[in-house]
Homo-oligomer: A and B are copies of this chain.
Amino acid sequence: MKGDHLNSPKPEVLRVGICGLGTVGGGTLNLLTSNQQLIARRVGMPIEVVNVATRTLDPAKVAGVARSGTDPFAVVKDPEVDLIVETIGGFDPAFEVVKQALANGKHVVTANKALIAEHGNELFAVADENNVSLAYESSVAGGIPVIKALREGLAGNKIDWLAGIINGTGNFILSEMSAHKRQFADVLQQAQEMGYAEADPTFDVEGIDAAHKLTIMGSIAFGMPLRFSSTYTEGISKITPEDISYAKELGYVIKHLGIARRTDAGIEMRVHPTLVSKSRLLAKINGVGNAVMVYGDAVGSTLYNGPGAGAEATASAVVADIIDLARHQMAGATKPVYPGLGYRELDDNLQVMNIDAIESEYYLRILAADKVGVMAKISNVLQDHGIGIDAVIQKEAESESVPIVILTHLAIEAQMNKAIAALESLSDVTGSIMRIRLEPFHGQKI
């Protein structure tokens, strides 16, 4: 063990350095300042921000902080700093900042979901070698303490699955499309104007942000290394108001879910638009909120809901991690209390399944010629592929075509793909078929 930081606790104060004073970093500095006395009462010693690095130094922002500058590595090297908060975002220089901080025997708290999901395996190894912690509650679902729930509160359970609305921008867009029958592009523009979506919205609307968060939660749930590249990722940009409307008619809401599930065939890790029964609590989470449902073999279903983003909400989770580490130091811990992903031994054998191998129910929207016998042909194709039909809506003809909406029973995705290809090759079927997965949450009460 190189790090000896925890072996020489300084119980009088925990000294924090913050790298990056943007939304989350600035929120963290503010929260540690405004609630300093309260936090000291909870921990038993004060937590003090003693050094910050920010790209453009605004003296007003760092008033009261002993040292400040523009170089995050100066904070990392500061021997008078016990714990580094990384709120720079992205990979460069965040990766090096975190790695060097850990190598210097400092704990790191980060809100950087991309960094953890894509480089966490390497960084946790560095943390282990140096006997320090890399904490990341704020990287998933903003202020909702869902990492704690998975890693600690439900630690006695075999987690069978979890499903979450984990991108506030996407949920805001779908909620607005649903409430006001608006087009995706139109609501996206509004979300950008309101500051809910970035100028380049790809990370949010194409599901990459959600996939980062799901990757992290899935690894903690099942005890496997982070496998971001295996997480199936599909965004919401193709969802139309018509799909939302047909789903509603059938008793469903379309939500952008991240689903992680342990099955006999392997681990499912997938982010995609999903039909959810309108009676489920998840279906009732509207706007920029996040919610994660977790099923454990002992506890059953639990749900965690709250703000998934925002300066103060995310800072709440950053500060929770700092308080945890301060409490461990106060208790005289000489080693990290939590392994990086909540397991002392990860299971390398757990493999993420290809999306083709998963089993799901499906919503299909087919545009077909307005002729006698079309529905029979479609039904036959599905039957030939072993796919059962649960519900059908056939609407009135639009010009010469008629939209047919079908909900299927459970089917393997590869088989569904074949059936869709066969349906699209029917001369009576016009254009491509819209396919959205449906999650029944069979047997669940909430």
Contact = CB atoms under 8 A, between A and B. Distances in A.
Interface string A139-157: 0000111001100111111
Instruction: Determine how many copies of this chain the complex contains.
Output: 2
Interface in A308-364: 310, 312-313, 315-320, 322-324, 327-328, 330-339, 342-345, 347
Contacts of A157: 35, 316
A446 to B, nearest CB: 6
A179 to B, nearest CB: 13
A284 interface: yes
A299 interface: yes
Contacts of A38: 158, 223
Contacts of A336: 331
A322 B287 CA distance: 38
Q: Chain B CB within 10 Å — which of A42, A289, A298, A318 has the most?
A: A298
Contacts of A285: 281
Contact of A44 (B155, B297, B305, B344): B344
A137 interface: yes
Nearest to A149: B145
Interface residues of A, number: 72
Contacts of A300: 143, 306-307, 310, 312-313
A374 interface: no
A320 B335 CA distance: 20
A303 interface: yes
Which of A42, A148, A317: most chain B CB closer than 10 A? Answer: A42
A156 B31 contact: yes
Given A42-B223, A144-B153, A300-B312, 19 more contacts: A31-B298, A35-B158, A38-B158, A39-B156, A42-B344, A145-B148, A152-B320, A281-B281, A296-B316, A298-B312, A298-B313, A298-B315, A298-B316, A301-B306, A303-B305, A327-B338, A328-B331, A330-B337, A332-B335
Pick the 3 closest A-B CB pairs, nearest first.
Answer: A145-B153, A156-B319, A302-B306
28 contacts: A38-B223, A39-B155, A39-B156, A41-B345, A42-B155, A44-B344, A143-B302, A145-B302, A148-B149, A152-B320, A152-B323, A152-B324, A154-B316, A155-B319, A156-B322, A156-B323, A298-B319, A299-B316, A300-B306, A300-B312, A301-B307, A302-B307, A303-B305, A303-B306, A328-B333, A328-B337, A331-B334, A332-B334
